[in-house]
């Protein structure tokens, strides 16, 4: 498979009253055509900033980007604003976290679906309506013609998320970013949305980046996983390999915090003690050192580089799990 999106030494900083805030710190990632990548980490780890920067959505004057972003052979880091905008919808698209705030509350669903079709694909009003109905059918919304006439507040959370997926897929993008697509949905609806995304990815032959804080969400829906912590990728591997041979203590902590069916209902859920380091400070050593149960002196004074095993498994740890210490 050919490379669709390639990030090289991507760094994102923001100007704040307390100084430069480093949200993404030198990330290298590659997404192949037709591939699904899970980007996992706690809130504040840089996942959403990474995906928005990849699409060129960070337009505020306080945001600064360095490094390269190459999409479908085009270097977006040196392209004009107009050239980057031309990739939206037809090249890359995004499903945002909260459909209730992403959708316009005073416009009907049909109007919001048709907008991209008419502006980006030049469809007539009649063509856009026909395609809108097809898109709602694609995302399994019953009675799509009736749904087109509804406002967002007249739909359930799961239905609103399906509308967001339909809008994102309207112009047949090659790459779809799904930013926490199951936030605030109950477990049953979460499973339906995730399965829908997986099915559509295969059906439409597109690539997908699934952004989430929950390793359990990406387990059966991605080809590879990149675990982020404090703006860095700390572990990267094929999904099966990562779950079988965890190397980074932070990844192990995320796995342990997933609720399990064999846990006693009266038992406490595992938590990761402590908090993320201050992103405005560049401390020496490993960013996870203060929270790591396996920390050693070297971890506190020397920043670990990303190591790569023979099978492509990468990890940022001086003393990786499963390796003789």
Q: What is the pLDDT of residues 190-234, one digit of tens each?
A: 889 999 999 999 999 999 999 998 888 898 899 999 999 999 999
Q: How far apart are the first and last CA of the chain?
A: 37
Check residue 216 and give its pLDDT.
Answer: 85
Check residue 209 and give its pLDDT.
Answer: 97
Q: Are strands 92-95 and 175-179 parallel, antiparallel or unpaired?
A: parallel
pLDDT tens sequence across 120-135:
899 999 999 999 999 9
Tell me the Ramachandran region of residue 272: left when phi exceeds 0, alpha when psi lies from -120 to 50, beta otherwise.
beta
Domains of the chain, residue spans: 3-91+171-315, 106-169
Q: Are strands 3-16 and 63-71 parallel, antiparallel or unpaired?
A: antiparallel
The pTM for the full model equals 0.93
- The conformation of residue 152, written as its DSSP 8-state character, comes to G
The C-alpha atoms of residue 250 and residue 255 are separated, in whole angstroms, by 9
- Could you give the dihedral angle defined by the CA atoms of residues 100, 106, 111 and 116, in that order, rounded to the nearest 10 degrees? -60
Check residue 86 and give its pLDDT.
Answer: 93
**Which of 52-61, 235-244, 264-273 has the weakest average pLDDT?**
264-273
Closest CA to 24 of 153, 211, 219: 211
The C-alpha atoms of residue 97 and residue 109 are separated, in whole angstroms, by 18
Cβ distance 318 to 299 under 8 Å?
A: yes
Beta pairing partners, 10: 27
Closest CA to 46 of 68, 33, 30, 29: 29
Beta pairing partners, 225: 38, 237
**Beta-carbon-side half-sphere exposure of residue 202 (alpha carbons within 13 Å):** 8
Check residue 227 and give its pLDDT.
Answer: 97
The C-alpha atoms of residue 41 and residue 233 are separated, in whole angstroms, by 9
**Distances in whole angstroms, Cα of residue 241 to Cα of each of 226, 232, 280:** 12, 20, 34
Q: Which residue has the tokens 């050239």?
A: 83
- What mean pLDDT do residues 162-177 have? 94
Average pLDDT, the chain: 92
Q: Is 187 helix (H, G, I), strand (E, B) or coil?
A: helix
Q: How confident is the model at residue 306 (pLDDT cuts 50, 70, 90)?
A: very high
Check residue 96 and give its pLDDT.
Answer: 87
Percent above pLDDT 70 for the chain: 96
The C-alpha atoms of residue 71 and residue 275 are separated, in whole angstroms, by 34
**Distances in whole angstroms, Cα of residue 42 to Cα of each of 51, 229, 276:** 15, 7, 9
Cβ distance 206 to 175 under 8 Å?
A: yes
pLDDT(324) > 60: no
- 3-91+171-315: what CATH class? alpha beta
Q: How confident is the model at residue 263 (pLDDT cuts 50, 70, 90)?
A: low
- Could you give the dihedral angle defined by the CA atoms of residues 248, 198, 209 and 87, in that order, rounded to the nearest 10 degrees? 170
The C-alpha atoms of residue 144 and residue 133 are separated, in whole angstroms, by 6
């Amino acid at each position: 498979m050919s490379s669709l999106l390639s990030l090289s030494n991507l760094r994102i900083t923001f100007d704040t009253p307390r100084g430069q805030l480093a949200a993404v710190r030198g990330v290298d990632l590659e997404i192949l055509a037709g591939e699904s990548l899970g980007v996992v980490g706690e809130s504040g780890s840089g996942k959403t900033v990474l995906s928005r920067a990849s699409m060129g959505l960070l337009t505020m004057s306080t945001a600064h980007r360095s490094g390269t972003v190459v999409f479908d052979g085009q270097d977006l880091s040196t392209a004009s604003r107009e050239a980057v905008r031309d990739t939206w919808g037809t090249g890359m698209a995004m499903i945002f976290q909260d459909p209730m705030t992403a959708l316009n509350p005073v416009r009907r669903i049909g109007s919001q679906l048709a907008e991209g079709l008419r502006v980006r694909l030049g469809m007539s009003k009649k063509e856009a309506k026909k395609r809108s109905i097809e898109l709602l059918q694609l995302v399994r919304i019953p009675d799509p013609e009736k749904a087109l006439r509804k406002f967002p507040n007249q739909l359930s959370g799961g239905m609103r998320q399906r509308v967001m997926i339909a809008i994102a897929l309207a112009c047949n993008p090659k790459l779809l970013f799904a930013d926490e697509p199951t936030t605030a949905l109950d477990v049953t609806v979460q499973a339906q949305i995730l399965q829908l995304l997986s099915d559509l990815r295969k059906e439409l032959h597109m690539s997908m980046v699934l952004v989430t804080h929950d390793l359990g969400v990406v387990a059966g829906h991605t080809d590879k996983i990149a675990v982020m912590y404090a703006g860095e990728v700390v572990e990267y591997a094929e999904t099966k390999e990562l779950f079988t041979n965890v190397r980074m203590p932070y990844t192990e902590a995320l796995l342990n915090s997933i609720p399990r069916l064999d846990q006693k209902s009266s038992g406490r859920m595992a938590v990761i003690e402590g908090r993320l380091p201050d992103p405005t400070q560049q401390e020496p050593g490993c960013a996870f050192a203060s929270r790591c149960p396996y920390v050693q002196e070297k971890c506190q004074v020397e920043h670990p580089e990303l190591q790569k095993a023979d099978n492509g498994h990468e990890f940022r740890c001086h003393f990786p799990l499963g390796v003789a210490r």
